[in-house]
């Protein structure tokens, strides 16, 4: 082995979300046999596409069937996987420190470890931002992980069972934040109510389910064009969702939400989906520049401003758009594009050559209202506007976004087989995960 070859180096990627997993897979497949070592780090043993967590939370998606093992993917693609939470960074030694891993009983099963790198990619994604609102952490559910989504699903099923067997009772669910997650969850809850009736909870119909969607701004889906926001609101109100715009939550307690005007919005279940921020540990990464959302500030080529050997992509990166319209938005398509950018220019990175600026391309946005409808826009990067789509065409494009993610990590043959199995499961398995 010729140690002088630029390929005999170690790339550590922290975060196995859409961007991190795709980058690790593609780099390993192309370069691992040429001497490049790729290590993926994540605190969870499995991956699930984050835009699907609202379906896991309502039981529409069985995460056990859809999740992907990092170890299995590593064996297939050629990268190594290390489970653990990143604790700190030593830029001088080019080393990251991983916290010990404990089992369900609290006992340590893996000690703290050190990983030395030649190049480091931070792709840890984001968590929900509670904006310091009193009571949110104690009384609201977040949908940042599979574990949180599964816990909400169990609570939801128990609440539905209790309500269905109590005469004249209603189940009230409040969702704070009318971005894509909040809107899609609102619709998915009504789909779950319909399906549960078919599975024996006949006393609980949609008339006994009340979903309140609370948004501090003047309209739902504030990042999307007004005509899409209006179409989505119309569909939600047809389902029975109570949309509360211009409503700011000042605190949360056991009974419900307290607005800044003193109004109490009562709810048995409360979900907080208002805004994002990067994990807190990002603030203390050995002098790397962060913004107020804990995101690492990066240059146009995705290198951090303080260290040319450290990159950031996806939701944890604060990357200015080349068109001057603020930062790249925290969307799955942005993480995918950033991962593709680094993969495409990786030889230049190894040769320490200058990289072009990453240019975000907005291909539009789609919001799935469960089985009821899908609305959105395509070709959002067009200077003359975008094409609004609804119904079956929009649903087809929405599903294809997930298939594109699967193509990036599995390839064509395996993705085709996965799609076939999904169709078979649609026929032979229950519509909801009921246990």
User: For 259-313, how does the pLDDT look when each residue is reduced to its tens digit (9 = 90+)?
Assistant: 999 999 999 999 999 989 999 999 999 999 999 999 999 999 999 999 999 999 9
pLDDT given for residue 293 in this prediction:
95
**Which stretch, 57-61, 198-202, 382-386, has highest mean pLDDT?**
57-61
CA-CA distance, 151 to 432, in Å (whole number)?
15
pLDDT given for residue 2 in this prediction:
40
pLDDT given for residue 390 in this prediction:
55
CA-CA distance, 96 to 94, in Å (whole number)?
7
pLDDT given for residue 12 in this prediction:
98
Q: Stretch 162-168: mean pLDDT, rounded?
A: 82
pLDDT given for residue 221 in this prediction:
87
pLDDT of residue 168 exceeding 90: no
Q: Which of 165-169, 193-197, 384-388 has the lowest mean pLDDT?
A: 384-388
CA-CA distance, 112 to 98, in Å (whole number)?
5
pLDDT of residue 387 exceeding 60: no
In this structure, are strands 269-272 and 171-176 parallel, antiparallel, or unpaired?
parallel
pLDDT digits (tens, 9 = 90+) for 214-239: 999 999 988 777 888 888 898 899 88
CA-CA distance, 59 to 53, in Å (whole number)?
10
pLDDT given for residue 362 in this prediction:
82
pLDDT given for residue 162 in this prediction:
87
Q: Helices (DSSP H) in 39-145: which residue ranges?
A: 53-58, 63-66, 70-77, 136-139
pLDDT given for residue 197 in this prediction:
73
Domains and CATH numbers, the chain: 10-127+277-350 (3.50.50.60), 144-271 (3.50.50.60)
- Strand 37-42: give its sheet, edge to edge: 80-83, 37-42, 10-14, 119-122, 307-312, 303-304
Q: Which of 132-136, 180-184, 388-392 has the lowest mean pLDDT?
A: 388-392
Note the residue count of the chain.
435
CA-CA distance, 100 to 83, in Å (whole number)?
10
pLDDT digits (tens, 9 = 90+) for 198-212: 666 655 566 788 999
- pTM here is 0.90
pLDDT digits (tens, 9 = 90+) for 39-58: 999 999 999 989 889 889 99
**Which stretch, 80-94, 213-227, 371-385, has highest mean pLDDT?**
80-94
Q: How confident is the model at residue 395 (pLDDT cuts 50, 70, 90)?
A: low
């Amino acid at each position: 082995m010729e140690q002088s070859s630029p390929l005999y180096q170690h790339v550590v990627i922290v975060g196995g979300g859409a961007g991190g997993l795709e980058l690790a897979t593609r780099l390993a497949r192309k370069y691992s046999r040429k001497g490049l070592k790729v290590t993926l780090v994540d605190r969870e043993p499995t991956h699930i596409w984050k835009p699907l967590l609202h379906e896991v939370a309502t039981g529409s998606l069985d995460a056990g069937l859809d999740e992907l093992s990092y170890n299995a993917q590593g064996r297939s693609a050629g990268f190594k996987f290390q489970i653990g939470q990143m604790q700190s960074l030593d830029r001088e030694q080019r080393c990251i420190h991983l916290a010990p891993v404990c089992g369900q009983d609290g006992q340590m099963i893996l000690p703290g470890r050190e990983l030395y790198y030649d190049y480091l990619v931070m792709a840890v994604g984001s968590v929900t931002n509670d904006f310091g609102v009193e009571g949110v952490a104690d009384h609201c559910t977040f949908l940042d992980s599979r574990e949180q989504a599964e816990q909400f699903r169990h609570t939801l099923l128990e609440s539905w069972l209790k309500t269905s067997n109590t005469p004249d009772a209603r189940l009230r669910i409040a969702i704070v934040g009318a971005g894509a997650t909040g809107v899609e969850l609102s619709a998915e809850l009504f789909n779950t109510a319909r399906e549960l009736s078919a599975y024996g909870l006949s006393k609980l119909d949609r008339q006994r389910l009340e979903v309140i969607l609370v948004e501090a701004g003047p309209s739902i889906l504030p990042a999307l064009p007004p005509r899409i926001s209006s179409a989505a609101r119309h569909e939600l109100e047809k389902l029975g969702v109570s949309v509360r715009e211009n409503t700011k939550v000042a605190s949360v307690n056991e009974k419900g939400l307290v607005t800044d005007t003193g109004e109490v919005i009562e709810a048995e279940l409360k979900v907080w989906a208002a805004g994002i921020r990067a994990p807190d540990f990002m603030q203390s990464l050995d002098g790397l520049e962060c913004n107020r959302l804990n995101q690492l500030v990066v240059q146009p080529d995705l290198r951090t401003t303080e260290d040319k050997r450290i990159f950031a992509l996806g939701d944890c990166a604060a990357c200015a758009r080349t068109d001057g319209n603020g930062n790249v938005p925290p969307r799955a398509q942005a993480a995918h594009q950033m991962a593709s950018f680094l993969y495409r220019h990786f030889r230049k990175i190894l040769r320490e050559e200058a990289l072009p600026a990453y240019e975000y391309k907005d291909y539009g946005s789609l919001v799935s209202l469960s089985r009821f409808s899908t609305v959105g826009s395509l070709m959002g990067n067009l200077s003359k506007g975008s094409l609004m789509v609804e119904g079956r065409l929009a649903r087809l494009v929405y599903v294809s976004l997930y298939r594109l993610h699967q193509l990036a990590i599995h390839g064509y043959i395996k993705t085709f087989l996965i799609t076939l199995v999904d169709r078979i499961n649609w026929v032979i398995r229950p519509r909801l995960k009921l246990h």
